[in-house]
Amino acid sequence: MSNGTEAPPARIETDRLILRPPGPGDADAVFRGIADYEVVRMLGRAPWPYRLEDAQAFIASIPGRDPATERPMSIIHRVHGLIGGCGFHSSDDHPLVELGYWLARDHWGQGYATEAAAAALRWAREAWGKRAAREAHFVENPASGRVLVKAGMLYTGVVAPLHCAARGEAVPSRQMIWIA
């Protein structure tokens, strides 16, 4: 079991995807994927409008993050290249790491989000030593809930407001948990 302090694995591989830490060469693709209001309005932390500078700043911040609680990953499709991101982050108000993910709109509905989230959770258990994680999705985004249930998460029964930076307001969200 891991103590959570070593660097993330170079690669997590699935049949169609590779998850790996973001690098400077990813900024343009991250920008193109998130700079779509239909994508960013379903994320908690990304601003609107989303600029190339936001993607560059996010990637530049990664080396300074605590590897015990922060594990961002780019989702690389073996044919299409970078199609999204996923990973884990922490917050001061909750003891569990939170799984997050996004996909560029052209790649919605093809099972990539489920494949990436399930692989990330499996890695969290097997390599990172995590035994639980949390996530939430906006009530108006039931597709995200289906992705997370298929990846192994369970609903807690709690609906609570979650701040959406792009909208500048709290949005009702359904809380979920994963237990290894």
Task: For the beta carbon of residue 66, count every other beta carbon within 10 angstroms.
Answer: 11
Residue extents of the structural domains in the chain: 12-179
Reported as a single tens digit per residue, the pLDDT across 64-84 is: 999 889 999 999 999 999 999
Phi-psi region of 145 (alpha: psi -120 to 50; beta: other; left: phi over 0): alpha
Q: Where are the alpha helices (DSSP H) in 37-141?
A: 37-40, 52-61, 112-126
CA atoms of 163 and 36, how far apart (whole Å): 18
8 A C-beta contact, residue 101 and residue 116 = yes
8 A C-beta contact, residue 85 and residue 116 = no
CA atoms of 168 and 154, how far apart (whole Å): 28
From first to last of its 180 residues, what are the pLDDT tens digits of the chain?
444 455 456 689 999 999 999 999 999 999 999 999 999 999 999 999 999 999 999 999 999 999 889 999 999 999 999 999 999 999 888 899 999 999 999 999 999 999 999 999 999 999 999 999 999 999 999 999 999 999 999 999 999 999 999 999 999 999 999 999
Model confidence, pTM: 0.93
Pick the CATH number of 12-179 from 3.60.20.10, 3.40.630.30, 3.40.190.10, 1.10.357.10: 3.40.630.30
Name residue, tokens 């290894």. Answer: 180
Amino acid 122 reads: R
